[in-house]
Amino acid sequence: MYKTDIMSDNLAYSWFRLFSIEGLGPAKIHRIRARARMNGLTITDIFQLAQTDFEKVFAPSGAEIYFALHNQCIESTDQQYNWLRENDAEVIHLDHTLYPERLLTMFLDSAPVLLFALGKLELLECDGVAIVGSREAEPAALDMSREIAAISAESGWNVVSGYARGIDTAAHIGALKAGGDTTMILSTGLHNFYLRSALKELSNRDNSLILSQFHPLAQWEKHHAILRNQLTVGLSKAVVVVQAAEKSGTLNTANIALKAEVPLLVVSPDLFQTPPAGNIEIIERGAIEMKSISEIEKHLKRIQEETVSLRRRESDNTRTLPLF
């Protein structure tokens, strides 16, 4: 279990303060961090800078940013931060040891600035497979989602999904019933999270990670769902689409995976009584059609083996050569 010491908590609080400032989006915060690091400063340090020094470091926008930092409603910020601490939520910022470097590599300055996490933090370091699909999935597709998740969990994958009803929830259930782990990616803040009744007897802090990139008080919004899809892909070595509707969020997830060159597997439309239009479209865009669940299992095993092999080669390359 990871512990938070006083120094790291102080840094987490500073990051939360910066994140909570209205008008500072991810791209701007990434630039602030980069400029601070160039000057040997941490995020905590920038709150201590005199105005003249601050404006010099962050020119030409220094005055505007300084004003935003020092006219923040601290009472509200502190209240929300204390709520996070009281509920054992971890604030995983860009300088946190658990922040997934993969997100920065894939998404650059559109990568989430903060991840608010509840539960099994170690899952951030585990290989994930995303299982996604329609909220209005047919019963056969829900069965497939549970089965694919169970097989994946038994093979050691962290099953990642977006915690929506339908395919996503079925994937979380399938992983947990198989005795595995799952990561639930939210499109709201943690304050608005509740555990679905179907998961209450299955999910706990030892097998589940609840993850949000949004302010604790954030409500569901359409663009939040899109950002949630990006995070789902970013935490996964492969994405499996079970059943996708036409013009759906699942198509957005598929597009992100294709653009990021994350292996995208799609259940064959032929396995459905009525072939899903979304599945057909995703295959036409370049996804790999899977004719059976056993084929998905074999493909994921191959990805797993390639990942292990790559890590082994990277480890060999970083070994220090003897001087003599």
Q: pLDDT, tens digit, for every residue of 218-236? A: 999 999 999 999 999 999 9
Q: Which residues contact 100 (CB under 8 A, 6 or more apart)?
A: 124, 234, 235
- Nearest to 234, CA basis, from 208, 253, 214: 253
The three-state DSSP-derived secondary structure of the chain is CCCCCHHHHHHHHHHHHHHCCCCCCHHHHHHHHHHHHHCCCCHHHHCCCCHHHHHHHCCCCHHHHHHHHHCCCHHHHHHHHHHHHHCCCEEEECCCCCCCHHHHHHHHHHCCCEEEEEECHHHHHCCEEEEECCCCCCHHHHHHHHHHHHHHHHCCCEEEECCCCCHHHHHHHHHHHCCCEEEEECCCCHHHCCCCHHHCCCCCCCCEEEEECCCCCCCCCHHHHHHHHHHHHHCCCEEEECCCCCCCHHHHHHHHHHHHCCCEEEECHHHCCCCCHHHHHHHHCCCEEECCHHHHHHHHHHHHHHHHHHHHHHHHHCCCCCCC
Q: Which residues contact 290 (CB under 8 A, 6 or more apart)?
A: 240, 265, 266, 267, 268, 296, 299
Unique residue bearing structure tokens 């899809």 = 229
Domain over 120-309 is classified CATH 3.40.50.450: yes
For residues 188 and 267, give the distance between their C-alpha atoms in angstroms, rounded to a whole number: 28
| pLDDT bracket for residue 318 (50, 70, 90) | low
pLDDT at 7 over 70: no
Q: Residue 311: its pLDDT value, please?
A: 83
**How many C-beta neighbours within 10 Å does residue 187 have?**
25
Q: Residue 23: its pLDDT value, please?
A: 86
Q: Residue 6: its pLDDT value, please?
A: 38
* Burial label, 77 (beta-carbon count in 10 A; 0-12, 13-18, 19+): middle
For residues 160 and 141, give the distance between their C-alpha atoms in angstroms, rounded to a whole number: 17
Would you kindly state where each structural domain of the chain is located, as residue ranges? 6-97, 120-309
For residues 158 and 153, give the distance between their C-alpha atoms in angstroms, rounded to a whole number: 6
Contact between residue 32 and residue 18 where contact means Cβ atoms under 8 Å apart: yes
Q: pLDDT, tens digit, for every residue of 235-270? A: 999 999 999 998 889 999 999 999 999 999 999 999
For residues 257 and 237, give the distance between their C-alpha atoms in angstroms, rounded to a whole number: 10
Q: pLDDT, tens digit, for every residue of 55-76? A: 999 999 999 999 999 999 899 9
Q: pLDDT, tens digit, for every residue of 138-151? A: 999 999 999 999 99
> For residue 304, what are its two tokens?
């797993």
Q: pLDDT, tens digit, for every residue of 283-313? A: 999 999 999 999 999 999 999 999 988 888 8
Contact between residue 268 and residue 289 where contact means Cβ atoms under 8 Å apart: yes
Q: What residues are paired with 266 via a beta bridge?
A: 241, 289
pLDDT over 70, % of the chain: 95
**What pTM, to 2 d.p., does this model score?**
0.92
Q: pLDDT, tens digit, for every residue of 74-95? A: 999 999 999 999 999 999 999 9
Q: What residues are paired with 131 via a beta bridge?
A: 240
Contact between residue 151 and residue 221 where contact means Cβ atoms under 8 Å apart: no
